[in-house]
């Protein structure tokens, strides 16, 4: 007997808002018992500016969580505490390694209740951290959204979070839509599945348009140097000053080092939902389909294969959302249904169109990452080289930790950025049904067989190799070339 199709309501998921809360998040905790938390959160920007955040938190009383009652209150407490946490860690010239009990103890209790790790996650900075300006207007309208909490108080930081909020709101209706498609596929309703896929393709197209609005009000320099450092976790952050991670001191037991990834869009349950219902499978970064098949054939009853970064990020989602994805994963049937009905041109086209839209969205995301992180890291590297290798940066964080190789750049979640993003994009096209669509989505259009030359020609030691008209030139701290962006 097939397992039932999950009901979103059983996981706290709204048919309209999706993974956003059914009601707008609380702007403050109602019980005055938590006034000190709210006071610090409200003054986070001046406390960070004056470098006084750590002294204030060290004097903060250790408050019990017994006065938190509703889910909305627990979520608000989490938002407040993780913003204070990251301000405490990254709000000085060097990151703070030890977290005091007055922050550790309530944070652990809140995180246990919400089933999230003690670090700023996508849920904390996006899903539970917004308010509609006009409650009667939709949350997928960026002109109707504001942030509850930021580190910098800047429009850029608010916009960075709110673009994701709008995407979540716009994608929310796709959840019941695709559950309907799964149920229809079980009973062979080809027309219903086709119509659902057509609607999903349109939603994905609209989500991509929202993603591209990031450029409207979020400046790349401000993001890289002012916002991104506060979002960093403690995993793979040796270059940023946390070689061992963080010591969460509960005042009772000797603290041990813990490492967590920071907030990442890979923690969006919505994006992973799209992958699951469309049958997109992601492998560990650097592992090809051939590698995976070879390993599976040789492993047989041996140890299970390791999961990739995307699957690992489910551990950073709220518990109910994580379980929802697991349950949907166990019943997903759209890809095999379309494959079994590949003679239906409308169905096949609708499915491949969804993959195309999802791949395009990932393409646009890579472009954003390139502009906001890769290019900015090169600017920072040139600035550090101009200042001299013997001079230490005044502040150590994710913005000043600049590796020589852009392939080694880490996201706030701790993963190698570009290899991960490009592989995730390429994997999106692999399930395509039509042979031409599969080739186009998996590998791109056929290329003329000329030898390829690097556009940038950048070497691991930072110097630039001239490779003809498609190469680069340097002048002082600038670089460019006829074919070089």
* Residue 365, annotated as binding a ligand: yes
C-alpha span between 461 and 409 (Å, rounded): 15
Which among 111, 54, 100 has a CA at the least distance from the CA of 255?
100
Q: Residue 4: beta bridge partners?
A: none
| Residues composing the chain | 485
Residue carrying structure tokens 């994997």: 427
Q: Residue 475: beta bridge partners?
A: 478
Instruction: Copy the structure tokens of residue 464.
Output: 């630039």
C-alpha span between 111 and 89 (Å, rounded): 18
C-alpha span between 344 and 185 (Å, rounded): 14
98-99 and 246-248 beta bridge pairing: parallel
Instruction: Copy the structure tokens of residue 429.
Output: 């096209």
Q: How many CB atoms sit inside 10 A of residue 44's CB? A: 23
The radius of gyration computed from the CA coordinates of the chain, to the nearest angstrom, equals 23
Instruction: Copy the structure tokens of residue 291.
Output: 């590698």
C-alpha span between 136 and 238 (Å, rounded): 46
Assign 112 to helix, strand or coil. Answer: helix
C-alpha span between 51 and 162 (Å, rounded): 27
Instruction: Copy the structure tokens of residue 377.
Output: 């890291």
Q: How many CB atoms sit inside 10 A of residue 302's CB? A: 9
Assign 14 to helix, strand or coil. Answer: strand
C-alpha span between 83 and 62 (Å, rounded): 17
Q: Which residues are annotated as a binding site?
A: 365
Q: Which residues are annotated as a binding site for heme b?
A: 365
């Amino acid at each position: 007997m097939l397992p039932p199709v999950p009901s979103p309501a059983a996981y706290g998921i709204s048919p309209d808002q999706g993974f956003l809360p059914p009601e707008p998040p609380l702007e403050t905790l109602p019980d005055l018992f938590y006034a000190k938390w709210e006071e610090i959160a409200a003054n986070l920007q001046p406390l960070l500016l004056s470098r006084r955040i750590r002294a204030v938190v060290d004097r903060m009383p250790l408050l019990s969580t017994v006065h938190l009652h509703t889910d909305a209150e627990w979520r608000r407490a989490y938002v407040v505490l993780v913003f204070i946490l990251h301000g405490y860690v990254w709000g000085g010239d060097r990151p703070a390694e030890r977290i005091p009990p007055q922050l550790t103890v309530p944070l652990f209790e809140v995180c246990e209740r919400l089933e999230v790790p003690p670090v700023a996650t996508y849920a904390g900075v996006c899903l539970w951290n917004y308010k509609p300006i006009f409650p009667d207007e939709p949350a997928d309208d960026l002109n109707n959204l504001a942030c509850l909490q930021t580190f910098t108080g800047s429009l850029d930081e608010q916009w960075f979070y709110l673009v994701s909020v709008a995407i979540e709101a716009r994608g929310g209706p796709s959840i019941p839509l695709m559950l309907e498609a799964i149920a229809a596929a079980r009973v062979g309703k080809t027309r219903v599945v086709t119509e659902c896929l057509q609607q999903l393709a349109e939603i994905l197209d609209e989500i991509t348009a929202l993603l591209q609005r990031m450029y409207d009000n979020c400046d790349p320099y401000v993001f890289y140097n002012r916002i991104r450092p506060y979002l960093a976790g403690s995993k793979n952050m040796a270059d940023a000053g946390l070689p061992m991670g963080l010591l969460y001191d509960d005042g009772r037991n000797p603290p041990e080092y813990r490492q967590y990834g920071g907030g990442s869009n890979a923690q969006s349950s919505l994006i992973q939902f799209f992958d699951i219902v469309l049958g997109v499978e992601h492998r560990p970064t650097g592992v090809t389909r051939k590698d995976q098949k070879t390993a599976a054939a040789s492993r047989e009853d041996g140890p299970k294969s390791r999961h990739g970064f995307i699957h690992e990020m489910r551990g950073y989602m709220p518990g109910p959302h994580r379980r929802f994805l697991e349950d949907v994963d166990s019943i997903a049937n759209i890809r095999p249904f379309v494959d079994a009905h590949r003679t239906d041109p409308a169905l096949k086209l609708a499915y491949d169109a969804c993959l195309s839209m999802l791949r395009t969205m990932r393409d646009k995301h890579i472009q954003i990452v390139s502009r906001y992180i890769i290019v900015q890291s090169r600017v920072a590297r040139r600035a550090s080289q101009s200042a001299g290798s013997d001079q230490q940066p005044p502040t150590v964080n994710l913005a000043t930790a600049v590796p020589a190789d852009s392939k080694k750049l880490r996201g706030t979640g701790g993963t190698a950025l570009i290899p991960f993003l490009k592989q995730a994009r390429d994997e999106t096209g692999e399930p395509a049904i039509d042979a031409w669509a599969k080739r186009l989505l998996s590998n791109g259009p056929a290329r003329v067989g000329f030898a390829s030359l690097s556009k940038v020609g950048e070497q691991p030691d930072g110097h630039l190799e001239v490779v003809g008209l498609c190469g680069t030139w340097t002048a002082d701290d600038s670089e460019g070339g006829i074919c070089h962006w």
